[in-house]
Chain A
Amino acid sequence: MKLAFEHLNLTQNPFGRLNHIDQRELAIVELGSLPEQLQQPGVAIQFVADHGRGKTTHLKALHQKFATTPYQQIHPGTKAEYAKARIHFIDSIENLSSRERKVLYKNCDSLAYTTHKNMKFELWRNGFTVISVKVSALDPKTIQSIFERRIESCRRNTGATPSISESDIEWLQQQYKDDIRSMEAYLYDIFQTLKTTEPLMLNKRVAA
């Protein structure tokens, strides 16, 4: 038995869960003026997208600018408890019942949340100015950087590690569009089978 992924000069599969690694090292998120806008009372920032596009990553990146404010991830069926705070961060707001959401709107000045469905009109009705951010990573360079950071965060020593080329990204985008989580799941399986640090060449791999 050898050390994990020693043959790839890595410490683990870089496309597995990396929640022991500082997410700031991995995330590539352009927040622009969102932190300043969230400081304004009555502002709601929604990150809207399908599964696996990076909504939570965006919300967490924004939350880092407001480290002392409460952050809640809402799973279906979980009961939300709101701490007293001016700004709230809610991951998956649609998992709250409409009654719970009303309590939330009454108890905060500003709000940042992720959602699969557009909640803009509901927030408007409750007196918020809504800034809607559609999360999608379609730029191949951005996707390549995200994946390179993952690989780099698992580097064992100096020297070569497997790398993902532009043509690999192109191929992944053809298969999964902007669904980064599905790309990562696919790459996880590929990295499980890699024997050396040679180029991935995903298109040829499938053809073979």
Chain B
Amino acid sequence: MKACELHIVFEQADKTFALGDTLRGRVVVDITKTTQCNGLNVNLFWRTHGRGDTNTGNEKSQNLFTGEWQPGHYEYPFEYELAENKTSYHGEIINLDWYLEATADVPWAFDPNIEEDFLLLSRPLAEDYHYRQRAQIEQRKRQKKSSSILQVIFPFLFFSAFAIFFFKDTEFMFDLFSPINEYFDQEHGLFISTIGKFLDNIFWLIPLIIGAVMLGFLFRYLSGKQVEKLLADLHVTLSKSEYQPGERIEATLSCTPQRDLTVENCYAQLIGQEVAVDNSGTTSTTHKHEIYFDEVSVSLPQNFNNQVPVSSEISFEVPDNIPASFSTGQNSIKWSLKLDLKLTRWLRWLNTTTIRIRQKL
């Protein structure tokens, strides 16, 4: 048995507390030989864990004892008001937990210490919210993937056609396509050298692909700018700067068309996302994970008339059990309202507004 052993005993055995509760417990110390203690301290704090770097905060320390321990059993009560509005959160790549740590400062020895976690909730949560909407999130990811592939393929084909048309008589194009011709030309029969040559040349496709991707981004940017030009004063206004779980997010989309137009569709999405930054080793990686997704169709008149202002309400219910926004260094939960307005297939306006979800007290 060690000379000094520490234990933390919570008065509430299930270690589950609500905001505003008083956390009561005691630090139990078992001493087998006389020990000098320069301070038995108990420290309350939160810490994140998951894929990102760990962050800690709200450290509140209490000194419970200083002096000499004779062999025996000691108990030191402590209590904390749990007023901080950061509650426990267990997500996919981010978790936030509350801890109580007791440490005895023993001179000329390793300081014995113990750490216990506990739950701090704003109210009892029925289920883990991050699994609740998984099917919907997965479906959206698939859609996103296919649309992003299309975004690359179309500009790539366009860019390739453009390049072939303008450079068809150049040496570069001859080099690029002659191996393919050779491959089909049975008289040459230089299969291996042809493939080798083709692979050599295929690296010339890299600038073509980069050009296509850049063209895709440029196209999206110009398309958004064109929509803003056609629909003057196009903006989204939130009814409040922050919302609480259980409330409704009310927003207004408004604009003044500069000519008669037809609207294809308009969708609004409420998205919750975990963002964790991992600085392990020599690289820094940002991980993202969607925890909430909801989409509504924004009701707009199908035809916009020149100089007739348009205004439409967007409304989302904020579920009662979603996590609040937080940002703690490398870990954050971000909420945003995304608007996707399509006038035609090629004229599209994408807008993202950050929303702050406050902890429900």
Enumerate chain A interface residues (CB-CB to B < 8 A).
1-4, 11-13, 16-20, 51-52, 55-57, 73, 75, 91-92, 95, 114, 116, 181, 188, 192
**Does A19 contact B53, Cβ atoms closer than 8 Å?**
yes
Number of interface residues, chain B, beta carbon within 8 A:
28
Contacts of B284 in A (CB 8 A): 75
**Does A188 contact B47, Cβ atoms closer than 8 Å?**
no
A75 and B90 CA atoms in complex are apart in Å by 30
A75 and B284 CA atoms in complex are apart in Å by 8
> Which of B47, B124, B282 sits near A114, CB closer than 8 Å?
B282
Contacts of A20 in B (CB 8 A): 47, 49, 54, 56
Chain B min CB distance to A64 (Å): 16
Enumerate chain B interface residues (CB-CB to A < 8 A).
15-16, 47, 49-54, 56, 88, 90, 92, 95, 97, 117-119, 121, 124-125, 128, 278, 280-284
Contacts of A91 in B (CB 8 A): 282
**Does A51 contact B283, Cβ atoms closer than 8 Å?**
yes
**Does A56 contact B282, Cβ atoms closer than 8 Å?**
yes
Contacts of A73 in B (CB 8 A): 282
A57 and B281 CA atoms in complex are apart in Å by 8
Chain A min CB distance to B103 (Å): 14
> Which of B54, B92, B125 sits near A17, CB closer than 8 Å?
B54
Contacts of B124 in A (CB 8 A): 1
Contacts of A12 in B (CB 8 A): 49-50, 95, 97
A177 and B281 CA atoms in complex are apart in Å by 18
Chain B min CB distance to A61 (Å): 13
**Does A17 contact B49, Cβ atoms closer than 8 Å?**
yes
15 A-B pairs in the complex with CB atoms less than 8 angstroms apart? A1-B128, A3-B15, A3-B118, A4-B95, A12-B50, A16-B49, A17-B53, A17-B54, A20-B54, A51-B282, A55-B282, A56-B280, A75-B284, A91-B282, A181-B280
Contacts of A114 in B (CB 8 A): 282
Chain B min CB distance to A206 (Å): 19
A18 and B97 CA atoms in complex are apart in Å by 14
Chain A min CB distance to B12 (Å): 13
> Which of B54, B119, B125, B282 sits near A92, CB closer than 8 Å?
B282
List 10 additional A-B contacts (Cβ < 8 Å) besides A1-B16, A16-B51, A17-B54.
A1-B124, A11-B117, A12-B49, A12-B50, A13-B49, A19-B280, A51-B281, A57-B281, A75-B284, A181-B281
**Does A3 contact B49, Cβ atoms closer than 8 Å?**
no
A16 and B93 CA atoms in complex are apart in Å by 8
Chain A min CB distance to B358 (Å): 19
Chain A min CB distance to B83 (Å): 20
A3 and B125 CA atoms in complex are apart in Å by 13
**Does B281 contact A3, Cβ atoms closer than 8 Å?**
no
Chain A min CB distance to B207 (Å): 24
Contacts of A17 in B (CB 8 A): 49-54, 278, 280
Contacts of A1 in B (CB 8 A): 16, 88, 90, 119, 121, 124-125, 128
Whether A16 contacts B281 in the complex (CB less than 8 A), given A1-B88, A3-B119, A4-B97, comes out as no
